[in-house]
Amino acid sequence: MTGTSIEATYSYSRYASNQTVSKRTGQPSFSEKTDEKGIEDVKKESQRGTVMAEYYSRKPQYKEKQIDRVNLGYSVLSSAGLSAEDMENMSMSEFKDIISRTIAGIPHHGTRPYDEETVLITEEGWENMKKDPDYAAWVVGVIKEDRSVSNPFFGMGDKGAFIVQTFGASPSDYKGQSFSKIYGGTAAGARSAYNAATAGGGIVTRGPQAELQPPADYNLWEEKRKARQKKRKELIEADIQAKYMQKKRLNEMYENKYYQNKALESSRNTAHFFDTRNNTPSVMKSPASIAASYEAAFMTADIAEMF
């Protein structure tokens, strides 16, 4: 058994008010019991700290860290209006309900808006949390600590995670697992694995955008195939563009060479004369020298006719 199934979306529940349990249930408060039976008798009844004390005795190297988690858990419980005395004086059903609501209301870090988490607590775990409020505070502290961790891949398109945390009779029985919401390659497959791990029970907390990312039909392999096709298309287009530019530059080069040759040929035709009789090139002549040559030729012809 895992307790009542509770759902919340990133908002602290104020289900537990600042009133004492005696006002809600009619049961005597811790202080009232003290007045009636005496401090020593009440201390004997309380088993506060026994679960955690046993854990510290077995693993003293972790004591300092676990005490920090207990204190963190008490700060969360205090914000919900719960004290150790309140938890000790509640009925089990009320205890489960209020603790479940408190856990469900602990938000994830702002970089984890797509996460979905289920907290599973065994029946023995519930009993020991009720018996030892320090252990209940430790459970809440572990969850608070974990949900305060940022997601370093949020800005890289991460699609969130499924998280399952399981608590047993003591801290030694704790185990947690987390996997991508596209674990196995598809959104449907990852959700199926998550549902199997939780068996449909537990205390559920969903991020504010948990239903948006990833889409229900997301398929990693199809996305990769599309990405490869897109990349291949981009490479082909880039190759076509490169060949087009190369051909364009060659055409421009040939065109420039053609006009240079035409200009050179024109310059030669106007600047040189070729002697067709002896196949020797004539020297370059100015217009004035050409006129003088014609004049000399006419004069020679006139003299010849006179003889």
Instruction: Please report the pLDDT score of residue 241 as a whole number.
Output: 85
Does residue 185 sit in the same domain as residue 40?
A: yes
**pLDDT for residue 120:** 97
Tell me, yes or no, whether 17 lies in a domain: yes
Query: Do 68 and 185 fall into the same domain?
Result: yes
Q: Is 52 inside any structural domain? A: yes
Task: Tell me, yes or no, whether 79 and 168 share the same domain.
Answer: yes
In DSSP terms, 274 is beta-bridged to 281
Task: Give the model's pLDDT for residue 18.
Answer: 34
Does any domain span residue 248? yes
Q: Are residues 234 and 203 in the same domain?
A: no
In this structure, the answer to whether residues 111 and 177 fall within a common structural domain is yes
Q: Going by C-beta distance under 8 Å and a sequence separation of 6 or more, which residues neighbour residue 57? A: none
- Domain boundary (190, 218, 246) is at 218
Q: CA separation (Å) from 60 to 125, 134, 145, 177, 298?
A: 21, 16, 21, 25, 133
Residues 128 and 260 in one domain: no
Domain boundary among 183, 218, 253: 218
Q: How many degrees, rounded to 5, is the angle at CA 141 between CA 137 and CA 144? A: 140
Pair (12, 78) in one structural domain: yes
Q: Is residue 199 part of a domain?
A: yes
Q: Are 71 and 25 in the same domain?
A: yes
Domain limits for position 94: 6-218
> Do both 151 and 49 map to the same domain?
yes
Q: What confidence score (pLDDT) does residue 164 get?
A: 97
CB atoms within 10 A of CB 5: 14
The predicted structure's pLDDT at residue 217? 81
Using CA atoms, how far apart are residues 153 and 77, in angstroms rounded to an integer? 31
Indicate whether 198 and 273 sit together in one domain: no
Mean pLDDT of successive 10-residue segments in the chain (307 residues)? 44 35 39 43 58 94 95 95 90 95 95 96 96 95 96 88 96 94 89 90 92 80 68 79 84 81 74 53 56 56 47
In a domain? residue 32 = yes
In sequence order, which residues have a C-beta less than 8 Å from that of residue 33 and are 6 or more positions away? 42
Instruction: Evaluate whether residue 131 is within a structural domain.
Output: yes
- Domain count of the fold of the chain: 2
Shared-domain flag, residues 263 and 284: yes
Pair 139, 213 in one domain: yes
Domain final residue pick, 218, 253, 277: 218
Which helix (DSSP H) or strand (DSSP E) does residue 284 occupy? none
Asked if the structure places residue 1 within a domain, the reply is no
